[in-house]
Each structure stands twice: as structure tokens, then as C-alpha cells.
Structure 1
Amino acid sequence: MSLDHASSQPPKPLAFEMVAATRELHTRINRLVVSRLPLALPPQAPDAGPYISGLLHLLPVYMTFEKLWQDIIPDTLPQETALDDERPKISERMHTILKELRIPQLFRSDILRADIKSMTGWSDDILDNQIDVIKRKGKLCAFISHIKQIIPDEPHTLIAYSYNLFMALFAGGRFIRASFEKAGDEFWETVPRPIRPTMEPCRPKSTAPSPLEPTYDLGETNRQSQTPLQFWRFNTAEDGEDLKRDYKEVLLRWESELSPWEREDIVRESVIILENIESIVNHLDSMFAEEQEEKPSIQIPKRPSLADRFAQTQFVARIRDSFMIAKERGVRSSLRSQSLDTTTTEEGEQESKGEYAHHDNVAADIELCPGVPKSMRFAKSLPIPPRRHARVAAAKDGSLKGKLAVRSSMQPANTAMPRPVLVGLIGLFLLYIFVRIRGIMSVGTVMV
């Protein structure tokens, strides 16, 4: 009973099935296009060259399936039976469906050709030669061959091509058009560089308006109406929204005439179309990625990661620690030199106090340095007592007033410190170092 109930339910709209089957592909293509679109706009692109390259890879697709549709459903009935015999054989039912769905204002081939010619200054012969070269290579060549084979054999698959390639102009196409409309006059007035992949040079643009531009006011500015973006515009009062509405209404009205296997073919072909479009977009991405590598000056700078910032911070902290340790050692050596160069006891005491004050300031700076671990402490150097015997001897010598007498390397100086005092000072210094080491070790043990 449940199976009979399920079979009695009407099928979902064909448009819904096509969208559901291609949703993941749509998402990937949209992300890739949106992320790469800035590379075709100022300041990354000084002219419309990358944009033209993309259009040159789309034009053969529209030209192929629109031409086949034209052959199956001509605008006028042929007068000669010979031509009628060469036309693909389709049923009267399918002929009616495709004829109802065929809305000439949706067709894009001629408009796209006019846009490219306007931007490049190429003649029809040059443009046809570029199209012929491009469509004979890579994924695009395989896609064109597939279209030429599948549509004559299964004419109902034209519904998949018309829906996916026409309706896309109203979704992502609006976003692309708005992005290029903001590019500025200088961008469109600049003659593009040679166009990839053939590197065909462009000619100065003609100032004559395109014959395919709208002849009525759509509410847009005069500058926008002259911009070569007619591929994304439609020659109707609602800028194509009425065409989109009419197409969906006709499809919904006639899809009930399709057999289940025809619907399956249409949904399957929709997936094939989007897979090939993704391949073309990836090909364009790789083609211009090579150009970005050739010109590193316009590459987008890579943002440093959190790990890079952490490593840089640790490196700077270590350099700062080494600098502060070296600075403190310099302070200690300067203290010793000051004690030898001082001429009087009073001057020596004042200079020693000044140096000790400076040493305290350095130590305070070290404590406040954020790069130094808090467990690290720098021991203050022991004060060096003034050497009064040397100063007294220098004071008695009038010719060497204010300076120490030069001592002979072979004769002991009479200013030598008594041995018991020196031994005592050395003992105190060793005891001080021992106490400091034990204190640091105890602190490290507690921290661990």
C-alpha cells in the first residue's frame, strides 16, 4: 500500500531535480570564481585581458548548443525537402517542447561575440580563428565533441543546457556584472595586452556603439550602457527577469510530457555540464596562476600563520636576552675601568655611585623586559674598593698628576692589596656565588 501511495505522488519539478543533483558542483564553481575574480579586476589586472580569456572559453559552448538548437527548431520552416532530410529526427512531442522553450532573447552567442570584438578590436575572421584554436585543446575540446554527439542523439538534453547555462546568467552572472561595472573608465579604455592562450594582440577599440546594445532606457547610467558587458544583460524592460520567469513557467507546464528516462537523461546531463564547466574554470585558474608566478610583484602577500608569529616572538625574545646579558657584562667591565682611571678618592666614589645607579637601572629594565623569563635573575656585581695606594703615589708625582704611574711588567706594584684582604674577598665572592646558585636551584625545583 505504501508503494502504491508513493508511486501515485507527482514527481518533483524537473528544475528542482537538476538543482539538487548539481548543488555540490555549483558550490565549488562559485567559490572558485569568487576567489579568483579579483585577479581579473583592478588593481590586480590593469586591463580586461583575463576577462576576455574567460569569455573566449565560454563562447564555443554557447555557440555549439545554440547552433544545434537552431538546426532542430529553425526560425522558419525550410522550403526544400533536402534540408528537411538532413535535420535530426525528433518526435512531434519533443519538437513542440523544444519549440516552446526556445526563447530567442535568451540566446547569448552573438551578444558574446560582440562584447569580445568591442574589447579586442578584432574582426570576425580573427575572432573565429581564436575560437577554432581554443576549442581544439584540452577539456574544452572534449566538451564540445560531447555536445555535438549527445544533442542529436538525445534532443531532450537541450533542456539541461538551456536551464544550466541560461539560468546561471541570472544568479552568479549578476554578481560578475556588478563587479566589472565598478572597474572604472580607465580599465575599459585601456587596450588589453595580448590575449591568452594564443597571445593574439588587441587593436585600438572602435568608438562606434554595438548594434546589439539596448535601444531603450533601462535606468542605467550612460557609462554602463557603453561598457562591453552585454553578455550579462538582456534586451527586455526587466533586464531578463521576465525571460527567466517565462522560461521556468514553460518548463513547468511541459515537463509532464517527458518520460521518466528522459528526465533522468536531463538530470544526468546537468551534472556532466557542470563538471565540464568546472574543468574549464580550473584550466583558466591554472593558466593565470602561471602568470602570477611570472610576476611576483602583483601576487597577494601571504598572511603569516600563528606558528610563524610565535616563532618570531620567541626568536626576538632570545635576541633581547642575549643583548641585555652582554650589556650587563659591559657595565661590569666599565666599573672596573672606572676604578683604575679615577684620580682622586672623591671622584672615584662619585663615579662608582653613578655607575652603580646605572647598573641598577639596567637591572630594573631587565626585570621589566617581557621577553625574559620570570625565573631568570641577574646577580649584581660586587663593588670593587678604591685603590688608595695607587692614588697616593700618583698624587705625589707632580708630573703625572691625575694619572696612575706606569708600572713595569717586571717590578711588582707598591699598590698591591694585602694578601689576607684579597683572600677574604675571594672567599666572600665564592660564598656569594654558592648561595645564589642554591637559591636558583631551589626556585627551579619548586617550579618543576
Structure 2
Amino acid sequence: MASLQTPPQLLSPPPSPAPQNLSTDINTATRSVHTRLNKLIVSRLPLALPPIAKTPELYAHGINTFGDIYLVFENCWRVLIAEADKSKADDSSHDNKLRQWLSQLVPPGLWRSDAIKKDLEYLETATGADLEAVSNAQLRSFTEHIYRQTREKPHVLVAYAWIMYMAIFSGGRWIREQLTESGPEFWGVTHDSDKTDYWIHGTLRPGFTLFCFSGTRDGEDIKTDFKTRLEKAEELLTAHERKDIVDEAQFIFEQCVTIVEALDKQLMTDLELVKKLAAREAKHGNSHLKMKPTRAALPQDVAPRTEAKSASFIRAIVVAFFAFAVYQSYQWQFGGLEDTQ
């Protein structure tokens, strides 16, 4: 009796795994470094907010530091747009198609450079802070890398767009909520008319318009538009280009971690000391801790060290605080992954 066998023509290979889109690839690849960044900065967040922070000077230094990343990569992008506009209309090469797509990827309302410049101008006036007093060698190295890398591989701009812009829509909004709760007086808004016009009814907050968008949808329409434009990547990018983008995304997060860690090591940031000072102030009935602790307020052995490095200490705290926007994007990207694609 012949054995029963399945006819060969009915056999089929198992179904291939569903392909992931580019944003999911980025999220998956950066999960570990997101966790590292989270652990590094969560303990620092309260130091930039009342009652410890008395003015937005700490925040201003953070915006000045991480704002440079936005200013640099957006400048590189605008150079690419200008070059794409001059390209030949009949050029059907992959490189030209890629550059044309990149030139149209960012919706007009998403660019952040103007908002950052506006915020810095306001904050310098409101606080009297010299935002260029402290330089950051790690940041300079990173921005130089951005110029080189985006020139050689313009498609990696996608990594900067996905990470930095999505941080605005997730972690940035969470930060905006915390900053708003600080009250208009904290931001130098003292006149009642200004409080009504620019604080209660407005969405463009003085000092942190970086996290705000015009219009009734608070940027949700812009985010949707950007994601729709990004879908073109699935049919346009080569496998090698996708890998470049994912690798660059990992590098961006690693740079955020490195900047904070390097400052901690260099400045010997003592978070526990600041907490003790805050508790001491609260015990004596004061609502705020002086932004630059005096020699009398500090234990004898740490006063010289802190006094000499007070300006840099400010920078270290707030670099971590602003990086929290990037961490919060982790919650948005991984906490509800199905809803974000």
C-alpha cells in the first residue's frame, strides 16, 4: 500500500516575518541606550525646577546647550534643500530622488531653530545670564560630527528628525507642563495683562516656545504630516541607508549620555549635597535655594570646589534636564508602540 504523502506542489515555505518600518527599527535599536539615559538623568530633573531653582537661568543654559543640536542639523538640512532646488528636474538617479524627498520631509511648522533663538533672546534678557560663559567640548565634537556626517550621508538627517522632533511631541510636552506649573513669575512675566495674553490663553510660552506650536491642534497636525512624509522611506531607502540611519540614531543617544557623564566626572556633581541644601532651606522656612550656594551655606570642605565651578555646575544640571525630553520620547515610542506607527 502506497504511503500517503503531501504533494510537493502543495508545500509552501513559512510566512516571512512582517517587515518593520524605519521608525520601529530605530526605536528597537535604541531601547538599551534609552534606558541608560533614563537612569542617568531622572535624579537630576528636580534640580532645574522650583523650589530648588529660583530663576530659569538653569533652564536657559540647558536650552543653549542642546539647542545647538537643533540649530546645527536644521542648518545642514536647509543647505540640502537649497542644493536640491538647484538640481536638474530630469535627474532620475537614486541620489537625486533621495535628496528631493529629504528636502520635503520636514513640514514648515516643525522647524525649531527660530523658536530656540527666540527663547534664548528672552531668557538672556529675563535672567541676565551669560549663556556663552561655559563651553562644552563634547558638544562641539558632536556638532562637528553632524556637519561631516550629514554632508557625506544626507539620509542620516532622518535619524535627527525622528529623535529630536518626536522628543518635542512627547517628552517636550511633559516638560512644558512642568515649566508651566512654575508659574509666570518664575519666567519673568509679572504684568497682569501679559499673564492673560501670553500665559493663560496662549500656547506660545515666553522662554519655552521650543515646546509650543501655533494652531488649535498644538502641533498634532504637523506631527501627522511628518509621519506621512516619512512613510516614503519604506520604498525609497536602500538597506544600507536604513542601517546608516539606525546606527546614527544610536550614536545620537550615546552622545546625550556621554555629554552628561563627562560633565558629571569633570565637575564632580554632588546631587546629594544639593538635596541636603534644599532640605536645610525648607527647614528654615525658605521656599527657594539660592542658585549659586554661598560659602557660608556649604560644608567647609566643599565650599572652594563648588564656588570655583558654580557656572559649570549649572550647565551640568540642566544638560541632563533638557535631555529628559529625549528620555520621555522613549515613553511615547515604546510605551504605546502600536499607536505611534
TM-score range, shorter chain: 0.5 to 0.7
The Cα offsets for residues 362-415 of structure 1, whole Å up to 9 and x where unpaired, read as: xxxxxxxxxxxxxxxxxxxxxxxxxxxxxxxxxxxxxxxxxxxxxxxxxxxxxx
SS at match of 1:168: helix
1:241 is aligned to 2:249: no
Distance apart, 1:206 and its partner CA: 12
1:50 is aligned to 58
Q: Does 2:182 match 1:183?
A: yes
Measure how far apart 1:9 and its partner are: 5.3
Structure 2 SS opposite 1:234: coil
SS at match of 1:73: helix
CA contact (8 A) 1:157 1:269 kept: yes
What's 1:108 paired with?
112
Within a 5 Å distance, the mapping from 1:243-322 to structure 2 comes to: 243-283=222-262, 290=269, 298-299=277-278
* Aligned-partner residue type, residue 178 of structure 1: E
Residues 68-104 of structure 1 show CA distances to partners (whole Å, capped at 9, x for unaligned) of 10001139946xx9xx9xxxx9821111220231222
Distance 1:55 1:284, change over 3 A: farther
1:98 aligns with 2:102: yes
Deviation (angstroms), 1:110: 1.6
Please show how residues 1-400 of structure 1 align to structure 2 within 5 Å: 11-74=19-82, 77=85, 91-121=95-125, 130=132, 134=135, 137-189=136-188, 221-222=200-201, 225-283=204-262, 290=269, 298-299=277-278
Confirm or deny: 8 A CA contact 1:151 1:158 kept in the other structure. yes
* Distance across 1 between alignment mates of 2:268 and 2:179: 21
Q: Is the 8 A contact 1:164 1:270 kept in 2?
A: yes
How many corresponding residue pairs? 261
Which residue identity does 2:243 align to in structure 1? E
Q: Corresponding residue for 2:317? A: none
Deviations 1:47-72 (A, max 9, x none): 11111111111111111110010001
Q: CA deviation at 1:33?
A: 3.7
Q: Which amino acid aligns with 2:200?
A: T
Contact 2:155 2:241 in 1 (8 A): yes
Deviation at 1:162, TM superposition (A): 0.6
> Using the alignment, how far apart are the partners of 2:50 and 2:259 within structure 1?
23
Residues 55 and 116 of structure 1 are in contact (CA less than 8 Å); yes or no, is this contact kept in structure 2?
yes
Amino acid of the structure 2 residue aligned with 1:30: N
Amino-acid identity (%): 33
TM-score (norm 2): 0.66
Offset at residue 286 of structure 1 (A): 6.0
Determine helix, strand or coil for the equivalent of 1:44.
coil
Structure 2 unaligned segments of length 5 or more: list them: 1-7, 281-341
Q: Distance in 2 between matches of 1:271 and 1:184?
A: 36
RMSD over aligned Cα atoms: 3.7
Kindly indicate whether structure 1 or structure 2 has the higher relative contact order, using CA contacts under 8 Å at least 6 residues apart: 2
Deviation track 1:299-325 (CA, whole Å, cap 9, x = no partner) reads 558xxxxxxxxxxxxxxxxxxxxxxxx
SS of the residue aligned with 2:115? helix
